[in-house]
Chains A and B, each alone.
Chain A
Amino acid sequence: MSRKKLSRREFVAATALSSAALITAPYVRGAYAAGKLSMGFWDHWVPGANSASTELVNEWAAKEKVEVQIDYITSQGNKNIVTIAAEAQAKSGHDIFQMPTWWPQANAELLEPVNDIMDPLIKLNGEVNGTVKYLGQADGKWLGVPASVGSQIKGPCSRIDLMKKYANIDVQEMYPAGGPPKADNWTLDTFLKAAEACHKAGFPFGIGLGETSDNVDTAGAIFQSFGAQLVDAKGDLTVKTDAVRQSLEFYKKLLAFLPPDVAAWDDASNNKWLVAGKGAMIMNPPSAWAVAKRDAPQIAEQCWTHGFPAGPKGRFAPYLPFFWSIWSFSKNKEAAKSLLSFLSQPASIEKMVVASGGYDLPAYEKLTTLKVWEEQGPPKGTLYHYPNPYKHQTLSIAASPAPPKVAQQIYFQATLTKMCLRYYQGEAMEKTLAWAEGECEGFMRS
């Protein structure tokens, strides 16, 4: 059998020809020519809200020829944060992860900066609030794109009838649908008097003092209303200040008018309190109202979501944003950025907000007056003031402005609610402050 030997010249010529053919051949664009993209999105509480995200992602994928895979990961049992920790350790997983509040900062070193898409988005949608900047930026680097999905304000949701009858406060008049708030008299003093009156009438405010997010968020907003910080923005301890003392004194008075078991409350307790018709007010996004609409419509008809009472240092409301972040180990960062940009277009955001029944809050200032909040009911306009359309309150998060990695510890160790509880249970003020100072010192380890 004869075998033709390939000469060196022939080999070089053949290689050159095939390379040229490959390079000059027309680019054939297949169905998934732009590769794959996987994302771990937060599994929405509102039934059907995930489908809006899925539709948008699929629409983008079809246009960009990207194969996409969406995993909706619940926050029940902290499954989302456990997954974040696992992916951060393994440096492998989804390309995009929807991270709650503190997690972009906690994983800052592992996230792709997204300044190149944030700058145009801010130009398009308007400025973002201070809490989004505090949680989403590190050293001028955007760690994620603020996600409207899941972002929320935990403001008061009051019973119109009970507040009118027992506290002599017309919440609809104070926060009229379609108009600016007339809430100059809605201060912490008025709030305390209303709490006392409703407590006497047998409908105490449902504000928890447990260790979960809802409890800590309310305490955070009240502390900020007094100008109280445990650790300041520079990272210095500021526990032993008059502002902190005033906050504790205020909580001591308030606790006397709350249900006796609030120390054990979790994030579901306040919702149940409202839906069961046991209280005149809770601090929550409209999820409790949405459940009431389904399970107790007569109660939902009496619910009105509105702004926080103002303290000596201003009016603060807890705001908890989510972020869509891109892991630095993602293999398709450009596609990820393209998708996040698409999801942050006004039309996409509106679609997602509508699907959530107004629960989701965009971080951008031009998108806080969507029609959906005007139209939600009953009663009509109940969510009109939910997105803070007149910016009459500062959106904040508990434990800020401490450096985020310290603030995260203060937040999850529930230092604020623990302080209130300790002081209320009879511990001396200075002892409570010393305890909190010791805790915060520990949180500063690097």
Chain B
Amino acid sequence: MVDVAFQSNRTAAAQAGRRRVGLRNALRRKSMSAFLMTLPLILLIAILVIYPALYSVHLATLNKAMTKFVGFGNFEFLFKRDTFWLVVKQSCIFAISAVIFKALIGFIVAHFVHNVPANKQRKWRGMLLVPWVIPPAMSTLAWLWLFDPSYSAFNYTLSFFGIGPIPWTGDAMWARFSVILVNVWYGAPFFMIMYLAALKSVPEQLYEAAAIDGANWWQRIWYVTLPMMRNIIAITTLFSLIVTFANFDIVRILTAGGPLDHTHIFATWAFRVGIEGSDIPLGASVSLFMVPILAVAAIFILRDITKRGNES
């Protein structure tokens, strides 16, 4: 009996010791300390992102009065609404065209800045980043004044050349153009700075080798620069696509979705339906419709990151 008891104590002590050693080892592991250090942020994200996301899924399954579970009833209702499909179409037009132009302008401007002598580059980089660092709500207000239906500064200027007045926010096509233009103006500097960083990491020897092979300017871009920037272009484009799809402030301030709903995108229409129309479940369903679209984009981003990691 005594032996058994003694044995048992010894085993317990050994186990405790092993646990202590295990904990020490776990704490020594880099991944564990990294996890502990990021834990506050993870908790913050859980509270501010995951909980609201799950809550909105819950809301999307309720009826308008929020008294009954309706499953996918709200989505079924939305799929029968013409305005909803108009919003889907517009969100795609808005996001895709804005991202294409942002990428294109960012790429061109990054090349210009890259070719500026090193001592003057900082100044240019700073100036070109200004649209991106101003809060979009503020800068869009300035754009609203430029596009103002009655007192547009653009129209005033154009009138000297006998052009206009252009209904910047009063005509469906022009209004779409205006919201996309402001989004491009706001987002292009992000592309520019990312592409500039990528350009700087392209080894100079590759260009020298290409020059020796007799490559012209276009061939150097096509066969050297673009392949070297492929990953950053993909990641930046997809990241921007997600952000642009979820845009709210620019459209809300500039056109509030008008005229005739022709500039509504998911977020602005969700606000109109959910908050202004007091139909919160339907509003939640509209905003959740973005999830599959954005999830596909996120999968691409993650795959690209993994691929890049493996290559390096």
Contacts and interface: CB of A to CB of B under 8 A. Distances in A.
Contact of A278 (B150, B168, B169, B275): B150
B77 interface: yes
B281 to A, nearest CB: 10
Given A103-B278, A408-B278, A210 B167 contact: no
A359 interface: no
Interface string A68-108: 00000000001001100100010000000000001100110
A123 to B, nearest CB: 32
Contacts of A412: 272, 276-277
Contact of B151 (A81, A272, A445): A272
Contact residues on A (Cβ < 8 Å of other chain), bracket: 35 or more
Interface string A144-170: 000000000000000000000000000
A212 B258 CA distance: 10
A81 B275 CA distance: 7
A446 interface: yes
Nearest to A106: B278
Nearest to A102: B278
A413 B279 CA distance: 12
Given A264-B170, A269-B150, A212 B81 contact: no
Contacts of B189: none
A295 interface: no
Given A259-B150, A260-B167, A265-B149, A409 B279 contact: yes
B286 interface: no
Contacts of A65: none
B276 to A, nearest CB: 4
B84 to A, nearest CB: 9
Contacts, number: 89
A211 B258 contact: yes
Contacts of B5: none
B275 A78 contact: yes
Contacts of A56: none
Dominant secondary structure of chain A at its interface with chain B: helix
Contact of A264 (B169, B279, B280): B169
Nearest to B73: A445
Contact residues on B (Cβ < 8 Å of other chain), bracket: 20 to 34
Interface string B157-178: 0000000010111110001000
A102 B77 CA distance: 24
Given A82-B275, A413-B277, A445-B64, A422 B260 contact: yes
Interface in A386-421: 405, 408-409, 412-414, 418, 421
B256 A266 contact: yes
A273 B275 contact: no
Nearest to A279: B150
A430 interface: no
A273 B168 CA distance: 18
A445 B65 contact: no
Nearest to B147: A264
A102 B149 CA distance: 29
A222 B191 CA distance: 50
B178 to A, nearest CB: 10
Contacts of A82: 275
Contact of A446 (B65, B83, B151, B277): B65
A266 B148 CA distance: 10
B269 to A, nearest CB: 10
B255 interface: yes
B187 interface: no
A263 B151 contact: no
Contact of B280 (A78, A85, A408): A85
Nearest to B253: A77
B261 interface: yes
A412 B83 CA distance: 14
B136 interface: no
Contacts of A405: 64, 278
A296 to B, nearest CB: 14
Given A106-B278, A409-B277, A414-B258, 11 more contacts: A78-B275, A85-B275, A109-B65, A260-B167, A269-B149, A278-B150, A408-B278, A413-B272, A422-B260, A442-B81, A445-B77
5 contacts: A78-B276, A89-B280, A261-B170, A263-B259, A264-B167
Nearest 9 interchain pairs by C-beta: A261-B149, A264-B170, A106-B278, A264-B169, A412-B276, A264-B149, A263-B259, A261-B170, A263-B170
Interface of B: 63-65, 77, 81-83, 149-151, 165, 167-171, 175, 255-261, 272, 274-280, 282
